[in-house]
Amino acid sequence: MVDRELIASSADPPLPGAEPPGLGFIAVETRALNLWYGRFQALFDVNLRIKAGCITSLIGPSGCGKSTLLRSVNRINERLGYVRTTGSIRVMGQDVLAPSVELIQVRKQVGMVFQRPNPLPLSIRDNVLFGLRLHEPDRHRRRSEREEIVERALRTVLLWDKVKDRLHHDATALSLEEQQKLCIARLLPVKPVVLLMDEPCSALDPKATEAVEELMWELRGEYTLIIVTHNMAQARRASEECIFMLLGRVVEHAATDTLFVTPRAKETADYIEGRYG
């Protein structure tokens, strides 16, 4: 799944302080990333190296830029005409902001799920196949191949046994947990490398949250997951690395245990101890 050739061909030397090559394979790397909404600067000099196959959580008080950073990775911010970005964002070694890169390719490599599950008002089966049809409209697939794709995606998100007898039912009738899993399943047929999740459990009850966290854990390894969460307990349980942001800047990026047990910055300690945010 991970394209080592692309990383190896990355032209720029690693950032100062970054780990030596070979120790952790990097899926997403930002350098001097700045972003403005009109005249308002929302991200300042963000330099990050996010490990492939890991779950990395983004935490920080409301308005600190978590969603903005997440949405930069698949360039979804650009739908707003007044957004300006400088710096670079490499996904598997390729700068997704480069003029030669096609947006559709970026969206294929980098899938995204949102706070509220947003299945299309179509059948469960057609939801899973939707992205594939969008990305490869001219490619004819045999029915058996389509069925296989649907089954594989639904099995991966631990939904197959629940829905296999009602694939033609309307997806919007599923429970919120099932809808969120379906929204993840719908990304998989186009073979993304990175999955972005912006507070994927905030609309779910505790049991459904646990189920989606279990799924995230299943997906790690094959996919690189970057999740935004306001829930400190979730960041601790469900991520291996954690990034703390404040006022558009990255304050600290560390292994989750390290960040929670021995944070380097006072601001991080104050936040995780609930002193603000």
Tell me: does residue 80 bind ligand ATP (CB under 6 A): yes
Q: For 28-47, give the DSSP string.
A: EEEEEEEEEETTEEEEEEEE
Interface with ligand ATP, residue 68, by CB under 6 A: yes
Beta bridge partners of 243: 58, 253
List beta partners, residue 131: none
Segment interacting with ligand ATP, rule: CB under 6 A, options 58-66, 96-104, 157-165, 259-267:
58-66
Determine the interface stretch with Mg ion among 67-75, 82-90, 92-100, 258-266 (rule: CB under 5 A). Answer: 67-75
188 or 251, CB closer to Mg ion? Answer: 251
Amino acid at position 247, single letter: L
* 75 lines the binding site for ligand ATP (CB under 6 A): no
Q: Give the residue, chosen from 56, 57, 67, 179, that forms a contact with ligand ATP under the rule CB under 6 A.
A: 67
For the chain, percent helix, then strand, then coil, each to nearest 5?
40, 25, 35
Start-to-end Cα distance in the chain: 37
Please report whether residue 40 would count as binding ligand ATP according to CB under 6 A. Answer: yes
Whole-number minimum distance, CB 228 to Mg ion, in Å?
A: 6
What is the CB-side half-sphere exposure of residue 67 using CA atoms within 13 A?
12
Tell me the CB-side half-sphere exposure of residue 157, using CA atoms within 13 A.
25
| Identity of the residue, 67 or 179, whose beta carbon is nearer to Mg ion in the bound complex | 67
Residue 37, binding choice from ligand ATP, Mg ion, none, Cβ under 5 to 8 Å by partner class: ligand ATP
65 binds ligand ATP (CB under 6 A): yes
Render the burial of 5-44: b for 16+ CB within 10 Å, e for the rest. eebeebeeeeeeeeeeeeebebbbbbbebebeeeeeebbe
* 59 near ligand ATP, judged by CB under 6 A: no
From candidates 30, 56, 67, 239, binder to Mg ion by CB under 5 A = 67
Q: Which of 218, 113, 206 is nearest to 156 (CA)?
A: 218
Using CB under 6 A as the binding rule, whether residue 251 contacts ligand ATP is answered as no
Q: Give the nearer residue to Mg ion in terms of CB position, either 57 or 156.
A: 57
- One-letter identity of residue 5: E
Give residues in contact with ligand ATP (CB under 6 A). 37, 40, 42, 60, 62-68, 80
Give residues in contact with Mg ion (CB under 5 A). 67
